[in-house]
Structure 1
């Protein structure tokens, strides 16, 4: 298959290894990954906060960029449940708010080919065992958008359970939010900190070496709190685990995903 990669803003700036891991994984599975350098933001920060008018130009640019090559690719993949959720559920709402029926139609066409990574692997490519090797104990945090908007369900866990050498342990109160929420963590800093404090404590309580999720934003938030507390668990994105093999194992870096140096 020919797959277009949307890296997302946060991955591009804060966790580029997540994008590299996504490419390595898909290419190892025999697929061609293409990247359009014109891509920018999906507009999630604006739409989540209710600024639909301000989001409209961002959504138009996103649709313009990915629509142009829509017939040339089989799917668009995003290593982010929150950004994929924005494209699939919020772009058409922005277009409707602007009264732009043409943009709404075009956004629907783009969103129909857009998938979060675990969705792409399990539902489109039909794989669960991707040949990964990760000999560590992990606990899984289901991010809010992936769980409540995209409803990815057990897909990430299905992929993780097929990884050689891995041990998955339960995360207490796993369904609770980590407190990031983009601008929520800025506008409601005290509440956000209380939420991530609880989440980090549950990660530690799990006894895992790593906390894994499908969103770099949540991992950055959780990893930052763990690091500031001096706690041992490290954040790792689902793509990084799935890209890890015996020949090319994952190497944790303190700079990744909010870990203090």
Structure 2
């Protein structure tokens, strides 16, 4: 909802289809490619034949659409629809900065924060500077970079279930690096990472909070 608030503040008319479902990534990553394709096809058909841009508060979803849909629908009747969908799909921060040319949302949040680069944003969508440009304009927010900022937090979807011990160790490393900055909040573009880190933080009683970028950018107004 905060993503919608920010988009509407800058003149966007936002439509949300309550019948839409998942992009298909969880099933695909788990090896259920046929089941995933059915979900992906539904997503494509729901968004075809339109000039509307698709904006998501998740680089993981956008990265999947951009990088894997062409393979899933290669040499199929939906090939051109997928090509079109990819060209108008954006992660929230890159849409603000690169399309709307907005870096200052008028937000204010007096807090020390550190930013976590999700693997999907960094490696699949090539998003690095956009979230930082937005955070640097938040009044009262002090942005402090953590060590090994580009290292995975350990979630990785089903990786966290299949390799629990490794996943927890990676979360511990990420949280310790965040604590070393003196930050009070970890910010990211992906709720999947934040969910994983929040779970670890609560379990260990660590004095840290997590916030999605959209929630930060909608603060104070």
TM-score calculated relative to the size of structure 2: 0.96
Q: Distance in 2 between matches of 1:187 and 1:241?
A: 32
Cα distance between partner residues in 2 of 1:229 and 1:164: 31
CA drift of 1:194 comes to: 1.3
- Give the Cα separation in 1 of the matches to 2:181 and 2:81: 44
Cα pair 1:55 1:94 within 8 Å, conserved: no
Q: Equivalent of 2:40, from 37, 56, 59?
A: 59
Where do 5+ consecutive residues of structure 1 fail to align?
1-19, 248-261
1:174-207 Cα shifts (integer Å, max 9, x gaps) = 1110111111111111111111111111122221
Moved over 6 A (4+): none
Residue 80 of structure 1 corresponds to 58
Q: Cα distance, 1:171 vs. partner?
A: 1.1
Match of 1:105 in 2: 80
Which residue is 1:123 aligned to? 98
| 1:215 pairs with 2:196 | no
1:48 and 1:123 map into 2 onto residues whose CA distance is: 29
Q: 1:225 aligns with which of 187, 200, 203?
A: 200
Matched, 1:170 2:148: no
* Alignment counterpart, residue 12 of structure 2, candidates 31, 54, 59: 31
CA distance, structure 2, for counterparts of residue 23 and residue 228 of structure 1: 31
CA distance in 1, matches of 2:109, 2:216: 6
Structure 2 runs not aligned, ≥5 long = none
Distance 1:47 1:206 in 2: 36
Contact 1:180 1:218 in 2 (8 A): yes
1:160 Cα deviation after fit:
0.5
TM-score (norm 1): 0.82
In the TM superposition, what is the alpha-carbon distance from 1:49 to its structure 2 partner?
3.5
Partner of residue 73, structure 2: 95
| Aligned residue number for residue 156 of structure 1 | 131
Q: Quick one: distance in 2 between partners of 1:23 and 1:130?
A: 13
Are the counterparts in 2 of residues 211 and 234 from structure 1 also a CA contact under 8 Å? yes
